[in-house]
Amino acid sequence: MAEKVAKLGVSREKDFMYYVKDGGVWKVQRKQPGVPKGRPEKVVDGDFTMDTNYIYFVDRDGDVARAKRAVGGQKRKKSARKAKRSARKAKKSKAKGGKNKKKKGGKKSDNPMDGLEL
């Protein structure tokens, strides 16, 4: 879960997004259609150093909190069907010598009269 890093008590405005950068709290206007991009401005300077192993954010109380960063995510299990398919493809490419050969002959026509001679 999250732990509080600095008690700043930032009061939030509805149309702004708040984030933590370089030990300070910044705000920028939310994107809206037809409105140009807003410029970020510093709200308050915090007295803490940031660690790259954590994600920092402004919580509901307006304080800075951090949570452990999930690096790399979670490994997912391969389904049995996908595992068989990938093993089969590897086996085929090994048998062919790893080369993709083109088949001879052109594209077959949809017209049944093409093959007949008069």
Higher-scoring residue by pLDDT: 97, 101:
97
Range of the domain at 16: 3-68
- Percent of the chain residues topping a pLDDT of 90: 25
Kindly tell me the burial class for residue 113, based on how many C-beta atoms sit within 10 Å of its own C-beta (0-12, 13-18, 19 or more): exposed
Asked if residue 80 belongs to a domain, the reply is no
Question: How many structural domains are present in the chain?
Answer: 1
Whether 88 is in a domain gets the answer: no
Statement: residue 98 has pLDDT above 60 = no
Instruction: Give residue 117's pLDDT.
Output: 73
C-alpha of 98 from chain center: 33
Q: Is 51 contained in some domain?
A: yes
In a domain, residue 13? The reply is yes
Separation CA 77–CA 69 (nearest Å): 22
Task: Report if residue 81 sits inside a domain.
Answer: no
**% pLDDT > 70, the chain:** 80
Is 41 within a domain?
Answer: yes
Residue 75 lies in a domain: no
Could you report the per-residue pLDDT of 50-87, keeping only the tens digit for each? 888 999 999 999 899 999 988 777 777 776 666 677 77
Write the pLDDT tens digit of every residue in 100-110: 555 666 666 77
Q: What average pLDDT score do residues 109-118 get?
A: 72
Tell me if 78 is assigned to some domain. Answer: no
Q: For the beta carbon of residue 25, count every other beta carbon within 10 angstroms.
A: 22
